Each structure stands twice: as C-alpha cells, then as structure tokens.
Amino acid sequence: MGCVGLPTIYILALEVCEIKHRSVVGILIGLPWAFGTMAWGGVAFQVRDWRWLQRCVTSPFALYIPLLFIMDESPRWLIVRGQFDRARRVLQRAARWNKTQLPSEEALNNLMLDIRGELVEPEKPVLKEKQNRRWTSLKTPALCRTRSLRIINFIFSLNHFISELVFYGLSLSGSNYSADPFIYIVLGGLMEIPGFSLTAPIINRFGRKWPTIWGYVLSGIAILLLVFIPDNIQWLVMTLAMLGKLCNSGAFMIIFVYITEVLPTEVRLQGVSAAIMTSKVGAMVAPYVTDYVGPLVPWAPSVIFGVSSVVAGVALLPMHETLNVPMPDTIEDVPDITLKPTLFRKKPELKVDEVEELNKEPA
C-alpha cells in the first residue's frame, strides 16, 4: 500500500486532471480516507483481536486489484519518458470519452517534442585526461539537482513529517482526551470530512499557500490551548482536540495538492515519495510521544504537537503559489525559490536612471 497506493495513484489522478478541476479533485480524492478512519472505530469495537482486525480491514484490497489493469498510464509521464505513441493513444482515448478534439497530429507531436527536448542535455566535450581516469564521480540525484528543488523537498518533507506526527499523535491520544477511545476515533474521522471537503472551495478561491499556513497555525493554537484546560472540563478538551484534528487534516490534504503541483513531472513521484517517507517517520515517533513522554509530563505532548504545527506553517512562507498555474514538466520549469519569506521581502529599489526612463514613458 505504501509503494503503489498513496503516492502513485494520487499523482496519476492530478497529472491527468484539468487545471480548473485540480483543487476539487486533489482534495476530494482523499475524502474516503476520512470514512476509513471512522470505520476503524466501529470495526475495532466489534473485532478486538488485532489479527482478525487486520484481516477485516485489508480484505477489500482484493476488489481493488482488478481495477489496476484497466487504468491508463499518465500521458505526462509517457511524454517525459519519450513514449509518444503510448501517450498519443491515451490522449485520443481521453478525448473520445470527453467528446473533445485534440490538436492536429503534427501540433501534438511538436508539443511532445518540445517537452521532451527540455530534458535532453547537450553533450559536453570530454577532455582526454578525464577519459583516462579510472574512477567516475557520483551523479547528483535529479531530485537534488537545483537549489530550488532542494528547498522544496526540505520544506515539504518537514511538513509531511509534522503532519503525520500531529495526526497520529492526536489519534493515539484517545485515552488522554476522551473517556471512550472508540468514540474518539470515530469523531476524529468525522472531523476529517469537513477538513477534506471544505478545503476544496477554499483553495480554489484563495490558493494553496496561505490556507495551508493558517491550517497548521490554527491547529497548533488549538492544541497548545489544551495545556491550560483542566481535565475535568471534558467537553472543552474534546472540542479543542477535534478542532486541532480538523485543521491538521485540512492542511495535510492541501499539502498533497501543493507538492504535486510544485514538483515537475520529471521527479514528481520521487519527491512525493520522499516526503511520504519522512511522514511515516513522524507516524513512528508519535506513539513514543503519547505513550512515553505523556505519562511522565502530561502537558508535553500537547506542547510538542502544537509547536510543531506552528513550525510547519511558518516553514511554508518561502514557497510560491500554484493556483491556476500549469504543472511543471521539467526541472527547468521550477521557479527560483529563496529561503527568505516572501512576506518580508523588500521591493527592489529603482536606480535614478531607471526612474527617469519610467517618467519619460507616456501614461
């Protein structure tokens, strides 16, 4: 499930999606996750043996496997790999289903050649003395080839790590925030439904960057407030915990749309997979925070999860917006990114001669 379930299916869905529908498709495709979380509470309440519980929740995968054989490959990926004939067949089938018209075959070939041509680097002359060397240096991975890509991967890996740390930290804190852990899990999954569904129109209107930042910051504030709430006010504790879960779930879902739109097709799967890998490290750390740190210092888990959420939001400040922007296909298509937050960037000052030239131009 980790190899082919989450990253590849999600990327495939967005790569074949039209720009104007990316926000809705990218968010709603994760909605079944919320229903699955809610189902965990009900199934776990009925099936207490963990082995039988695993059998019950994994058996539906048998229904999923046949669907893999009728799915088409991503035409973006096929074009980047130079498989133009397969990409053309996929596009023709999609045009036939959607009752639309493709560009002429010549125009389509030229378009695919242009995209593919950006990936082909001109051969550089090799010096004779270098040819005689018996050793070769390791090639820089494509995912870390440019400074902007390294910054993107660091920021989104950090965000994925914190998202899963907080998500599973709240999910595993049922005994701390509720008297009934089964009801707590069901309510947690219920909070994910508005967290996933309501974010679609929000990011379609306001973009990806700032809704994600505010989602993480509000989640962190709600969790930090738990430190100051007495345990006997159970309804308020539950409300703040569910609010933190709602905001975290919404931000986490937007992050998947965001990273898919930021990374180019050339390295999109590698980048998303690397971010998901770091998120699973956060999922592994979460039980130690709740089960080991919590009993020693009861307020520590809330502080750790709350501060981490705020850090995740602040880390996104250097990123650029991707609303209504075509997905990049090559590494060269990725815009330059600086670690200086765009919020505090100074506007470039014009020189005296530049100001005079602007004043001479007609209004």
245-257 pLDDT, tens digit each: 889 988 988 998 8
The pLDDT, as a whole number, for residue 355 is 42
Q: How much is the mean pLDDT over the chain? A: 81
Residues 48 and 86 in one domain: no
Backbone angles phi, psi at 206, to 5 degrees: -110, 0
What does 117-172 look like in DSSP terms, one character per residue? HTT-PPPPPPPHHHHT-S--PPPPPGGGSSHHHHHHHHHHHHHHHHHHHHHHHHHT
- The arithmetic mean of pLDDT across residues 201-225, rounded, is 93
Q: Is 338 helix (H, G, I), strand (E, B) or coil?
A: coil
Q: Are 217 and 108 found together in one domain?
A: no
Together in a domain, 16 and 102: no
Tell me how far apart the alpha carbons of residues 22 and 29 are, in angstroms, rounded to a whole number: 10
**CA torsion through residues 73, 77, 81, 82, sign:** positive
The Cα–Cα gap between 342 and 81 comes to 35
pLDDT digit string, tens, across residues 38-49: 788 788 888 889
In a shared domain, residues 18 and 99: no
Q: Residue 132: pLDDT above 70?
A: no
Number of domains in the chain: 2
Q: Which residue type occupies 147?
A: R
Q: Do residues 147 and 258 both lie within one domain? A: yes
Residue 250 in domain: yes
How confident is the model over 41-65, as a mean pLDDT? 86
Same domain, 209 and 108: no
- 63 and 81 share a domain? no
**329 and 259 share one domain:** yes
Specify the pLDDT at position 6: 64
Q: Is 95 within a domain?
A: yes
- Please indicate, yes or no, if residue 129 is contained in any of the structural domains: no
In this predicted structure, the answer to whether residue 76 has a pLDDT above a threshold of 60 is: yes
Residue 249 domain-assigned? yes
Q: What is the pLDDT of residue 136?
A: 43
* 114 and 150 fall within a common domain: no
Residue 127 in domain: no
User: Any residues with CB less than 8 A from the CB of 173 and at least 6 apart, and which?
Assistant: 241, 290, 294, 301
Specify whether 215 is located in the same domain as 90.
no
Q: What is the DSSP letter of 314?
A: H
Parent domain of 253: 6-68+143-333
Is 123 a residue whose pLDDT tops 60? Answer: no
172 and 226 part of one domain: yes
Q: Is residue 130 part of a domain?
A: no
Q: Is residue 341 part of a domain?
A: no
Question: Domain with 180 in it: what CATH number?
Answer: 1.20.1250.20
Are 55 and 162 found together in one domain?
yes
> How many residues make up the chain in this entry?
363
- pLDDT at residue 343, rounded to an integer: 43
> Residue 275: inside a domain, yes or no?
yes
Which DSSP symbol is given to 361?
A: S
